[in-house]
Structure 1
Amino acid sequence: MQVVMAAVDKPRSVDYKGATDLVTDTDGRSELAILEVVRKYFPDHLILGEEGGVSGDESSDYLWCIDPLDGTTNFAHSYPSFAVSIAILLRGKPIAASVVEFVGGPFCWDTRTYIASAGGGAFCNGNQIHVSNKDEVERALFVTGFGYEHDEAWATNIDLFKEFTDVSRGVRRLGAAAVDMCHVALGIVEGFWEYRLKPWDMAAAVLIVEEAGGKVTRMDGGDFCVFDRSVLVSNGILHEKLLDRISPPTEKLINDGFDFSQWYKPTGYVSEV
């Protein structure tokens, strides 16, 4: 958190992973600072970081999923929707999580720190949080995201974006999945979905949503695992109504050959989910 906060409102050193997929020097420095702490106190654990990949003991039951700067493009533009996201998994299931969201904007930055532990509830800046109780799609606000691959899944979500914009109070696209999911946990939006996220995007926030009383599945309605290729999170009350619209086009993607098998799972890591 300190590394990112020290870099806001300052010139960025920007590079590219792809045509539009940014990475900054802050991404790398943030991950190195996190790795230093994890390796010091948990030297036998396995680590999966967005920038550094897999390191540590692959026979470990514990896996750290680290996104040192979720929403890098927003950070590079000083747009207030980015975060640091860290989770620890036990045999594939998140058991503790933290997401630090950077809020405000140029010259007035602040943070929201979300934490959760399995069975221990979810908290934001020390206050216990809970998902909203809205039970009508027409009165709900949603969030979604779009990846850098403009493929059939991307086009399908464009259609879903249009559909939910038409039937709800609106759909936002803020550009940082961990932040979006934490907003569901905070109760200020009712649902979030996206294709092609990575474990470091999801692992912390899905636990925070669940501990705030929300529900998490794949977009086809199947049981969710952080190594999956789609996620739907909601306040729980609206989950089946969302699936009524989201599951059919997702199943069509699967029938058309879109690969929904698990990915980014470190070789040798034993997961029970």
Structure 2
Amino acid sequence: MYEAQREACIAAAQAGGRVAMKFFRKLDPAKVTEKSRNDLVSEADHASEAAIKAELDLRFPNYGFLGEESGASGDSCRRWIVDPLDGTLNFVQGFPHWCISVGLWDKNGPVVGCILDPMREDLFVAVRGQGATWNGERITISAQTGLDGAFIATGFAFQLGERFQTYAKALNSIFYRAKGIRRAGSAALDLAHVACGIYDGFFELGLRPWDMAAGVLLVQEAGGLITDWEGGDTWMESGNVIAGNLYVHQDLLEAVKGS
């Protein structure tokens, strides 16, 4: 089940990745603009999204589409949710940590998801009820027994505004317990790396649907938990996300609630 959708997801991500690689460290500075203060978009973002959408429209013309750059169109009950270049600031600066994220959602949530890291040739894929893979090999969440000594991923952006104070309180609680905390600049890749056990957990405020549409399914299918910062299921709407195995997730949840 969902084999055609899975293949479309992978093909679309690869199409976007090929386009993005042509621009990496070759961008025309005049074609990098701000959507809002410190929120950049480049010609690579637009070109990658166009390539992804063309591939998906060819294979599933009746499905809807939500892209970071072009917005929503078509059927909202079966919709591809796409970040054509997650980590744009990294990309613009020439920092080699960014990815392509493609997810299919229906009325029950995520169906298939694919995250492609073209720099490392890493392909993460998940299908509802069928598990998750990393370059074709089955993956599972970390077995870390709690926050103490854990390796944690996080993120924050200028757009958080006053919410940064809430984030900072949570970070302060987590900082003194974790073995290490990394803010690499791509939430989609962070979630993929939680799914395969590189990171033990993840927390962030204010994500957008395209940042996590594929990554949350990877975490879930690898055996992990996803909730909002209250322990509920509004994470897709609120953008406030905690991810990890049962033990790490519970400790992160207690830490952010205490903030």
TM over 0.5, yes or no? Answer: yes
Aligned to 2:52: 34
Aligned AA (1:94)? P
Aligned AA (2:70)? G
**1:71 pairs with 2:87:** yes
Equivalent of 1:90 in 97, 102, 106: 106
TM-score (norm 2): 0.88
Aligned AA (2:56)? V
Aligned to 2:233: 223
TM-score (norm 1): 0.84
Listed as ranges, the matches of 1:11-160 within 5 Å are 11-12=27-28, 13-58=31-76, 61-102=77-118, 109-160=119-170
Residue pair 2:160, 2:206 contacting (<8 A) in 1 also:
no
Shift of 1:155: 1.5
- Provide the C-alpha distance between the structure 2 equivalents of 1:170 and 1:225, rounded to a whole number of angstroms: 24
RMSD: 1.5
Aligned to 1:209: 219
- Provide the C-alpha distance between the structure 1 equivalents of 2:168 and 2:150, rounded to a whole number of angstroms: 19
Aligned AA (1:5)? M
Which deviations, in whole Å up to 9, do the C-alpha atoms of 1:62-119 show, x marking residues without a partner? 01100000000001112122110000001150010000124xxxxxx43211000001
- Provide the C-alpha distance between the structure 2 equivalents of 1:110 and 1:183, rounded to a whole number of angstroms: 13
Unaligned runs of 5+ in 1: 103-108, 250-273
Shift of 1:198: 0.7
- Provide the C-alpha distance between the structure 1 equivalents of 2:141 and 2:248, rounded to a whole number of angstroms: 11
- Provide the C-alpha distance between the structure 2 equivalents of 1:57 and 1:167, rounded to a whole number of angstroms: 45
Residue pair 2:153, 2:190 contacting (<8 A) in 1 also:
yes
Shift of 1:224: 4.3
Which deviations, in whole Å up to 9, do the C-alpha atoms of 1:134-189 show, x marking residues without a partner? 10322101111112324332121122223212111121111110011111111011
Name segments (4+ residues, structure 1) moved above 3 Å: none
- Provide the C-alpha distance between the structure 2 equivalents of 1:234 and 1:224, rounded to a whole number of angstroms: 17
Shift of 1:36: 0.6
Q: 1:23 to 1:135 in 2, by over 3 A?
A: same
Residue pair 2:25, 2:92 contacting (<8 A) in 1 also:
no
Equivalent of 1:173 in 175, 183, 195: 183
Q: Decide which moves more: 14-23 or 234-243.
A: 234-243
Shift of 1:130: 1.0
Residue pair 1:185, 1:235 contacting (<8 A) in 2 also:
no
Equivalent of 2:206 in 185, 192, 196: 196
Shift of 1:38: 1.3
More helix by share: 2
Q: Decide which moves more: 69-78 or 49-58.
A: 49-58
- Provide the C-alpha distance between the structure 2 equivalents of 1:189 and 1:214, rounded to a whole number of angstroms: 12
Matched-pair identity in %: 36
Which deviations, in whole Å up to 9, do the C-alpha atoms of 1:29-78 show, x marking residues without a partner? 000001111112211111110000011234xx201100000000001112
Q: Decide which moves more: 71-80 or 218-227.
A: 218-227
- Provide the C-alpha distance between the structure 2 equivalents of 1:228 and 1:114, rounded to a whole number of angstroms: 25
Aligned to 1:258: none
Residue pair 1:92, 1:225 contacting (<8 A) in 2 also:
no
- Provide the C-alpha distance between the structure 1 equivalents of 2:218 and 2:174, rounded to a whole number of angstroms: 24
Shift of 1:225: 4.8
- Provide the C-alpha distance between the structure 1 equivalents of 2:48 and 2:253, rounded to a whole number of angstroms: 36
Aligned AA (1:76)? V
